[in-house]
């Protein structure tokens, strides 16, 4: 049984999300920190929550069909599949009548709107593609707000790399209509590369993103430079996608039946067969009294030419960027259609390297957008120089009201550490575990975090029982304490949250109040040395990684302070070490600040750079 112990209110994290506003499907994800993210699914509304203004269908799924309908009463429905639903808003936003694909002009009742825009007729009047997109965004924002518990502070919204200014502006307008503050628009391929962490320190080079969706095919070649993705070239085919593969199967099935079959049944069946053949080698099919079997080999034979076409388009993108296949370091798959196994096979043969396809190709763009939202809002403080360490030592009370430290201060988290204890009295069958936080060896000068009892110990002589106490702190600073008696396996634990729940002043105050006896001095010396070594190490790395951020003379000042600290560590005066450490931290303060700022401004600069 674990009990939750709230030490103080955690500061609320900003409510930010990434949104993949897709042609066929859209989804929303949120950052979890540490470069991770998760998709938010629609769901039943928790009791008492106000009904959303619009109704979204398929509400418990992660993928929301990118569609909206308006009825005579002006009621809006989002995410439906049937007639009356406007589905291809993304292919119309920011375009004039004469720029629209022929198929859309045939499918919808369109009329010209003001400033060379398009209007779509609905039973409640003409709507613009921007309005359709806004309703989809609003539906996604509503599900995110329910999950995050309040209005959104910002969103990163993805757009195709080839979107021009008007299309990007129209997407921003849609977000504004939906009341969503836009942190930035992010190119879809860049989002996919971010989801795979291809922007992080050791990763370099060029990324080819292969995105095969329902009706479109996009290729982008990105180059990573100084943590920023630049788009080197884009290519694609706006009339090539999963639908074409469905159509091939429909034709094949109809020819096997030997007579006409209803087109919509054939279409749906073709799609189902295609999707099944991504998972297995053969599938059985029945339609209009006919029954047969289709194998993956059959399907691959008929679809190979389509896939070759996509590879030709890859070559075209390479040519535009003046690159050879060998210049590509990573190939990333995006879009539901890349689940067809032949695609990765052919790409692996062409590029002679593994393609990245571990992340669900439907989710990868939204997840990457969420990662970016986390970076921009400070939820993700990657490479934080002196952060993400325990601010104070954590330990347990032992005999004589003394503290036995289990995790020393400044230990990087996450961390898990275990120490063995024993009983102090003969026949003792229970043990009180008192968890404390602070730098003093005396319990009363530390902060008491939790107290629990381990029962069911075998009645042994004092000093015989072996009790392991384990402290684990996860990346969120949540401390979990577990005690286990080794011979009987009796165990109990508690969760303490959050470790960072102290104010800066609390921490400073607790760091000041510490004893002065011999033992204390020795402990203080060891702590000071360990603190100093960690800072020297982290700073040494930072100086190499971000040398370009150093300003005139700064490097020398930091170097001198480092050398001074390294010398002081050799001595045995904890105060002198602390002073030298402080001097070093001061000399590096602005450099550290710039490192943090650069993470954010680089990300922002990416917006301009890859918007080109
Ligand atoms: P878009 O980017 O155009 O919104 P998606 O990326 O959502 O499209 O991809 C939709 C396409 O992916 C559809 O054609 C669908 O049939 C196809 N698809 C989904 N799952 C599979 C699968 N398992 N095998 C093959 N194709 C699939
Ligand atoms: Mg897509």
pLDDT in tens, 448-504: 877 877 887 788 777 778 888 999 877 556 678 888 888 788 887 777 654 444 455
Q: Which of 57-71, 148-162, 313-327, 383-397 has the lowest mean pLDDT?
A: 383-397
Is pLDDT of 109 > 60?
yes
Q: Which two tokens stand for residue 496?
A: 């303490």
- What is the model's pLDDT at position 463? 78
Site of tokens 């030709």 = 312
Please confirm, yes or no, whether 575 is among the known catalytic residues.
no
Q: Which residues contact 61 (CB under 8 A, 6 or more apart)?
A: 41, 42
Percent of the chain with pLDDT over 70: 83
Give dist(CA 434, CA 242) in Å, integer. 61
Q: DSSP letter at 401?
A: T
> What are the structure tokens assigned to 378, written together?
């400070």
DSSP string, 6-24: E-SPPPPPP-EEEEEE-SS
CA-to-CA distance for 513 and 73, rounded, in angstroms?
A: 70
CATH classification of 16-388 is 1.10.510.10, yes or no?
no
22 pLDDT above the threshold of 50: yes
375-417 pLDDT per residue, tens: 888 766 543 222 345 667 889 988 778 888 998 876 666 778 8
Cα(303) to ligand 2 centroid in Å equals 20
Classify 46 as helix, strand or coil.
coil
Choose the weakest-confidence range: 260-269, 495-504, 589-598: 495-504
Confidence at residue 500, expressed as pLDDT on a 0 to 100 scale: 41
Distance CA 433, CA 438 (A): 16
Q: Which residues contact 262 (CB under 8 A, 6 or more apart)?
A: none
Q: Report how far residue 96's alpha carbon sits from residue 129's, in angstroms, rounded to the nearest whole number.
A: 11
- As a whole number of angstroms, the distance between CA 13 and CA 17 comes to 12
**Number of C-alpha atoms within 13 angstroms, CB side, residue 363?**
18
Are 407 and 392 in contact by the 8 Å Cβ rule? The answer is no
Q: Are 287 and 261 in contact (CB under 8 A)?
A: yes
Structure confidence at residue 155 (pLDDT): 95
What average pLDDT score do residues 132-155 get?
Answer: 93
**Tokens representing residue 534 in the block:** 């960690």
CATH code given to domain 517-611: 1.20.1270.10
Q: What is the mean pLDDT of residues 587-603?
A: 72
Q: What's the pLDDT score for residue 2?
A: 27
Neighbour tally for 66: CB within 10 Å: 28
Please tell me the number of the ligand nearest to residue 215's CA.
1
Which has more confidence, 243 or 600?
A: 243
Domain ranges of the chain: 16-388, 394-513, 517-611
Structure tokens given for 218: 């996009």
Atom 11 of ligand 1: nearest residue by CA position? 214
Give the number of the ligand closest to the Cα of residue 283.
1
| Rounded distance from Cα 193 to ligand 2 centre (Å) | 14
Dig out the tokens for 415 from the structure: 């961390």
Q: Which uninterrupted H or E stretch holds 354? A: none
Ligand lying nearest the CA atom of residue 271: 1
CA atoms within 13 A on the CB side of 533: 11
Element (H, E) at 429: none
Separation between Cα atoms, residue 128 and residue 106, nearest integer Å: 17
- What is the distance in A from the centroid of ligand 2 to the CA of 23? 6
Examine the pLDDT at 280 and tell me if it is beyond 70: yes
Q: What's the CA-to-centroid distance between 37 and ligand 1, angstroms?
A: 22
Query: Inter-axis angle of helices 188-195 and 364-377, to 10 degrees?
Result: 80
> Is 188 an annotated catalytic residue?
yes
The encoded tokens of residue 369 equal 């957008």
pLDDT the model gives residue 255: 93
* DSSP output for 441-477: SBGGGSEEEEEEEE-------TTT--EEEEEEE-TT-
Q: Could you tell me if 13 and 30 are in contact, meaning their C-beta atoms sit under 8 angstroms apart? A: no
Find which of 82-86, 114-118, 171-175, 227-231 is predicted with most confidence, using mean pLDDT: 171-175
Residue nearest to atom 10 of ligand 1 (CA): 214
> Of 237, 156, 232, whose CA–CA distance to 195 is shortest?
156
Distance (Å, rounded) from C-alpha 436 to C-alpha 401? 11
What sections of 284-423 are H helices per DSSP? Answer: 296-320, 341-351, 364-377
Q: Using the atom order of ligand 1, give the atom closest to the CA of residue 66.
A: 4
Ligand 1 environment, Cβ below 6 A: 22-25, 213-216, 242-243, 271, 274-275, 278, 335-337, 339-340, 362
Round the average pLDDT of the chain to a whole number and report it. Answer: 82
Question: Can you give the pLDDT at residue 44?
Answer: 55
Q: pTM of the entire structure?
A: 0.62
d(CA 549, CA 596): 11
CATH superfamily of the 394-513 domain: Substrate Binding Domain Of DNAk; Chain A, domain 1 (2.60.34.10)
| 402 Cβ contact partners less than 8 Å away, ≥ 6 residues apart | 441, 442, 443
Question: Residues 92-104: pLDDT tens digits?
Answer: 998 888 888 888 8
């Amino acid at each position: 049984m674990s009990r939750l112990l709230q030490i103080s209110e955690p500061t609320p994290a900003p409510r930010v999300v990434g949104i993949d506003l897709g042609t066929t499907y859209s989804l929303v994800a949120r950052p979890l920190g540490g470069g991770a993210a998760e998709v938010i699914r629609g769901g039943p509304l928790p009791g008492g929550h106000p009904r959303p203004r619009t109704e979204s269908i398929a509400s418990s799924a992660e993928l929301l069909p990118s569609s909206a309908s308006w009825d005579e009463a002006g009621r809006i429905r989002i995410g439906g599949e049937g007639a009356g639903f406007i589905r291809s808003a993304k292919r119309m936003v920011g375009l004039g009548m004469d720029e629209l694909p022929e198929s859309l002009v045939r499918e919808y009742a369109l009329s010209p709107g003001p400033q060379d825009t398009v209007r779509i007729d609905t039973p409640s009047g003409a709507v613009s593609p921007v309005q359709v997109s806004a309703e989809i965004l609003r539906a996604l924002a509503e599900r995110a707000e329910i999950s995050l518990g309040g209005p959104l502070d910002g969103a990163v919204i993805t757009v195709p790399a080839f979107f021009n200014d008007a299309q990007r502006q129209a997407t921003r307008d849609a977000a504004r209509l939906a009341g969503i503050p836009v942190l930035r628009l992010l190119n879809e391929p860049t989002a996919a590369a971010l989801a795979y962490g291809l922007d992080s320190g050791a990763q370099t080079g060029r990324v080819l993103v292969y995105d095969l969706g329902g009706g479109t095919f996009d290729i982008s070649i990105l180059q990573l430079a100084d943590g920023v993705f630049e788009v080197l070239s884009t290519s694609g085919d706006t009339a090539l996608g999963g639908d074409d593969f469905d159509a091939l199967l429909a034709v094949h099935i109809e020819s096997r039946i030997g007579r006409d079959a209803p087109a919509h049944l054939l279409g749906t069946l073709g799609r189902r067969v295609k999707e099944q053949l991504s998972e297995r080698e053969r599938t059985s099919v029945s339609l209009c009294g006919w029954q047969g079997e289709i194998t993956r080999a059959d399907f691959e034979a008929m679809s190979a030419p389509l896939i070759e076409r996509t590879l030709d388009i890859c070559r075209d993108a390479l040519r535009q960027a003046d690159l050879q296949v060998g210049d590509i370091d990573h190939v990333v798959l995006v879009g539901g259609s890349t689940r067809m196994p032949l695609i990765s096979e052919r790409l692996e043969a062409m590029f002679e390297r593994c393609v990245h396809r571990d992340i669900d190709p439907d989710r990868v763009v939204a997840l990457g957008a969420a990662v970016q939202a986390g970076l921009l809002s400070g939820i993700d403080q990657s490479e934080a120089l002196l952060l993400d360490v325990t601010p104070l030592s954590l330990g347990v009370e032992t005999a004589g009201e003394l503290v036995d430290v289990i995790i020393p201060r400044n230990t990087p988290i996450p961390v898990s550490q275990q120490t063995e204890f024993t009983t102090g009295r003969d026949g003792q069958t229970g043990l009180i575990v008192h968890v404390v936080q602070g730098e003093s060896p005396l319990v009363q000068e530390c902060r008491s975090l939790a107290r629990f009892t381990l029962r069911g110990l075998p009645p042994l002589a004092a000093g015989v029982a072996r009790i392991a106490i384990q402290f684990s702190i996860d990346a969120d600073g949540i401390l979990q304490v577990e005690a286990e008696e080794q011979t009987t396996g009796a165990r109990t634990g508690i969760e303490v949250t959050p470790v960072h729940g102290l104010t800066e002043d609390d921490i400073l105050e607790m760091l000041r109040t510490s004893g002065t006896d011999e033992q204390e001095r020795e402990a203080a010396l060891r702590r000071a040395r360990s603190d100093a070594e960690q800072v020297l190490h982290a700073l040494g790395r930072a100086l190499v990684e971000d040398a370009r951020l150093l300003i005139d003379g700064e490097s020398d000042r930091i170097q001198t302070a480092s050398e001074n600290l390294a010398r002081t560590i050799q001595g045995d005066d904890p105060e002198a070490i602390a002073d030298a450490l402080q001097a070093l931290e001061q000399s590096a303060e602005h450099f550290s600040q710039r490192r943090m700022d650069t993470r954010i401004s680089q990300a922002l600069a990416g917006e301009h750079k890859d918007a080109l």
